Structure 1
Amino acid sequence: MNISFLNPPFRGTYNREVRFQAVSPQKALHPPIMLGYAAAICRDAGHKVDLIDAPALEITFDETIAKLKENSPDYVVMLTSTASVESDGGFAEAIARDTGAKTIVVGSHATAVPEDTLNYGFDIVARGEYDYTIRDIASGKKLEEIDGITFKKAGKLIHNKDRSLIQNLDELPFPAIEFLPNEKYYSALYKNPFTFILAGRGCPHGCIYCAGPQLMSGRGYRFRSVKNVVAEMKDRKKRFNLKSILFNDDTLNVNKKHILELCDLIIKEKVDLPWAAYSRVDSVDAEIAEAMKKAGCFLVKIGFESGCDEQLKTMKKGARATIEQARKAAKYFKDAGIQIHGTFVFGMPGETVESIRKSIALAKELDLDFVQFSVAQPYPGTEFYQYLEKNGFMKFEKWSDYLDEKGCIEPIFEYPNLSKEEMEGLLKEAYREYYLRPHYIAKAIKQRLTNWNLFKTSLRSAWSLLQYIKD
């Protein structure tokens, strides 16, 4: 079979395979690594595959169709998202018309609302972890016998049982990033170009807004052997001109024994590839931070999320995720010499103007290297979405309402005491208050005068952010 894997064109540098699906106000473009996994499995099964990342290639709908025709695909596996599903469905219909291929749609949105997703023009929904699902479809197995898919037959909806999560992640091939334009992926946070590596999948924590663990990877952390992870790091360094990697696990250091073993092996094998990772405030201590630094970690992304302990409880961050613990985590990483990118989310249940201002105040107190403020996105299938829907707080008519005209996150809910307009205003106020402080500007200039790569990427990010906050 000929199989094309596709991240479709939509809103310029739109990111689908991320936690907040949008065009980043600070400009970043991330690789669709899960498509890469499925492509590698199908390639190893003997199928002819290609992987087209239209946003990275900056190609139009017509140009994407032309590239698809070059592979004469039997199936096109399309990544979709909440805000883009209407556009993606229309494109699926064009693919069927112009190439004759069947379309298989993947991603958290399709997993959450498969019947609704099919109605936009796709042939099959592959729900949850779809690595092996695509292979099974391509092998000619009867659709009725394939776990984890939803489709229609003679007008009747067929919803097969869920596919079990993959337990032995070491059995998976490395993602087929050789098909991707790796030089195109960038962020002001990393050394560019960069790529993703997953040291594991899933998250044991219960945050109500995070779609990945609730819909795709599960409430539990399945990790690869450190030997397997380091082998991928060495392969990426040898074969591709990458300057850094981001471990895109929800929390790389959630298991102390595993993170210390990983750091030890990276050092022992002299991998010498800078890396960044996600952390929680309650998953780090001085020993972990120091080990990560020695192994090449230059930046961590921490979900501080709120400056109010009551809000952290409401979003179910966990008993040990407190403001006091946030201060400790920031100090551990600062003392180790690791930069911190902190994220804060506005609009969780119980949020008020006062609690948002506490979050802005905490960000300034922690004095992080980078911050990201966002209005929460209630993705279908999450506990947060269900809460808003149940209480009548949703204020949208169609999925595309999740974005504004620039492709940035648009609030699609409001509370009796907190309007959409107030959240939007506070979001821009937060960015202005944080990044336009004389102290921060002086520190940022000093950092960038000694780091040419950071200086170049920061110019693009800073210009984009300034355009966003001035509107």
Structure 2
Amino acid sequence: MVGMSVRNLSNHSYMNTIWALPISKAVIDRIRSVSDAIIVCGGPAFSIMPSEILELLGADIGLAGDAGETFAALADRIADGEPSYFDLPGLVYKKNGQIMLNEGYCTSEFAKPPRLEDLDMERYNKAGFGIGILTKLGGFYYPANASETQINESGWRVIRPIDEVVAEVKSMKERFGMKKVFFVDNGFNLPLDHAKSLCSQLIESEVNIRWNTCLAPFNCDAELIGLMKDAGCGLVMMVNRSGNPGDMGSMNEENEALAEVCRMCDEGGLHYNIGKQFGEPGETKESVDNKLDFLRSVNPAVASLRVGVSVMPGTEVAAIAKREGLINDESELVKPTFYIADEVKDWIVDYLQEQVSKDPRWNLS
């Protein structure tokens, strides 16, 4: 049996779009040419559109969700011949020429660390960004503003015990000499107390390792920024939705929250990157200039300006794209698809290229 994790549908860049799935299909075709092994696909991107991706890639079986343990159970059942594996949740397979998808998702507590000794860890070390360490995962979404941050631990898909996370960081340094790690967490500061406790334990452990992560642009305070810096954090990445471009009050409110976190980072000596989308539904010349003015008002290490919204199934933007005729069905989103509001579509790329050329810290994608 051969397993393949499909991490991304694409690079989500309008300016230099790379569709990842044909690359995965080429790998599967190559495996088919030399082996009769059962090919199983899973991973974050696969779990977004499991039926469509299994059909496109031509794998034998798919697993949707956090499938580490389920993959092991599948291997055991295939090897033993019993019990049948067709009752596994999140299983995707073909039956009588039709793609079948079992109810539910695979779930995992991520209690067992990956077998990193089987990888070339020296290459990860030299790459400079570090190996990923999971802290927590949301329920396939993260809060988008401060009013949505009150999530208790039962609301998280995975929230690992802090001592486990610290032990894994120590292991990375002791076993592989890792100089840096990346905490896989789209909102490190959510919940705030969890983030502070993790930083405090990293400091107390004296592990002395550098790390980066993603920070939600709200629900933050100066104490956390100081703890992150003292615990070894060198860079945080922040993206905000910019509010509703059609509602300048909403946009300004979310920009003010982001600006406050940027100010805390500046005062605490913590480097940060910022991402902004341009061309989302309701975008106008006024809202574009509002976003640009905001980026000029802060001091990020890098500002990433993204053209358009990379449309994902099940989202509000997907519904708008279908209503406006950009797509006929969400199954088409297996290919890279970008939404750009009609009011800015004809000039937004040239305009942003001109603005980006004025600041070496800005990039356009």
TM-score range, shorter chain: 0.7 to 0.9
Spell out the pairing of 1:312-323 with structure 2 (5 A cutoff): 322-323=254-255
**Cα deviation 1:8-62 (Å, max 9, x = unaligned):** xxxxxxxx63697358999xxxxxxxxxxxxxxxxxxxxxxxxxxxxxxxxxxxx
Provide the residue aligned with 1:388 in structure 2.
321
**Residues 1:237 and 2:163 are matched in the alignment:** no
Spell out the pairing of 1:61-460 with structure 2 (5 A cutoff): 83-120=19-56, 121-140=58-77, 141-163=83-105, 165-166=107-108, 168-169=109-110, 172-185=111-124, 192-202=128-138, 205-207=142-144, 220=156, 222-306=158-242, 309-311=243-245, 322-375=254-307, 376-394=309-327, 402=336, 412-419=338-345, 422-435=347-360
Per-residue deviation at 1:232? 0.5
**Whole-angstrom CA distance in 1 between matches of 2:299 and 2:129:** 27
User: CA 1:132–1:24 in structure 2 vs 1: closer, same or farther (change >3 Å)?
Assistant: farther
**Cα deviation 1:394-435 (Å, max 9, x = unaligned):** 499976863xxxxxxxx633333232x534334433432332
Q: What letter corresponds to residue 197 of structure 2 in structure 1?
A: E
**Whole-angstrom CA distance in 2 between matches of 1:291 and 1:5:** 39
Per-residue deviation at 1:155? 2.1
Per-residue deviation at 1:132? 1.8
User: CA 1:399–1:303 in structure 2 vs 1: closer, same or farther (change >3 Å)?
Assistant: closer
**Whole-angstrom CA distance in 1 between matches of 2:285 and 2:97:** 49
Q: What letter corresponds to residue 220 of structure 1 in structure 2?
A: W
Q: What letter corresponds to residue 150 of structure 1 in structure 2?
A: V
**Cα deviation 1:372-407 (Å, max 9, x = unaligned):** 1223211234343233123323499976863xxxxx
**Whole-angstrom CA distance in 1 between matches of 2:138 and 2:50:** 21
User: CA 1:428–1:89 in structure 2 vs 1: closer, same or farther (change >3 Å)?
Assistant: same
User: CA 1:196–1:284 in structure 2 vs 1: closer, same or farther (change >3 Å)?
Assistant: same
User: CA 1:24–1:382 in structure 2 vs 1: closer, same or farther (change >3 Å)?
Assistant: closer
SS in 1 for 2:240: strand
Q: 2:199·2:228 contact (CA, 8 Å) conserved in 1?
A: yes
**Cα deviation 1:133-163 (Å, max 9, x = unaligned):** 2112111152321111111123243221113
**Cα deviation 1:337-363 (Å, max 9, x = unaligned):** 100111112232112233223222211
Q: 2:9·2:21 contact (CA, 8 Å) conserved in 1?
A: no
Q: 2:284·2:343 contact (CA, 8 Å) conserved in 1?
A: yes
Per-residue deviation at 1:206? 4.9
**Whole-angstrom CA distance in 1 between matches of 2:361 and 2:95:** 57
Q: What letter corresponds to residue 247 of structure 1 in structure 2?
A: F
Q: 2:51·2:99 contact (CA, 8 Å) conserved in 1?
A: yes
**Cα deviation 1:105-129 (Å, max 9, x = unaligned):** 2234432333322222121121121
Q: Which consecutive residues of structure 1, in runs of 5 or more, have no partner in the other structure?
A: 8-15, 27-81, 209-217, 403-410, 438-464
**Whole-angstrom CA distance in 2 between matches of 1:393 and 1:428:** 25
Q: 1:195·1:246 contact (CA, 8 Å) conserved in 2?
A: yes
SS in 2 for 1:322: helix
**Residues 1:21 and 2:11 are matched in the alignment:** yes
Q: Which consecutive residues of structure 2, in runs of 5 or more, have no partner in the other structure?
A: 78-82, 146-153
**Whole-angstrom CA distance in 2 between matches of 1:287 and 1:19:** 38
**Whole-angstrom CA distance in 2 between matches of 1:427 and 1:17:** 29
TM norm structure 1: 0.65
Q: What letter corresponds to residue 335 of structure 1 in structure 2?
A: E
Higher relative contact order (CA 8 A, sep 6+): 1
TM norm structure 2: 0.81
Provide the residue aligned with 2:151 in structure 1.
none
**Whole-angstrom CA distance in 2 between matches of 1:430 and 1:185:** 35
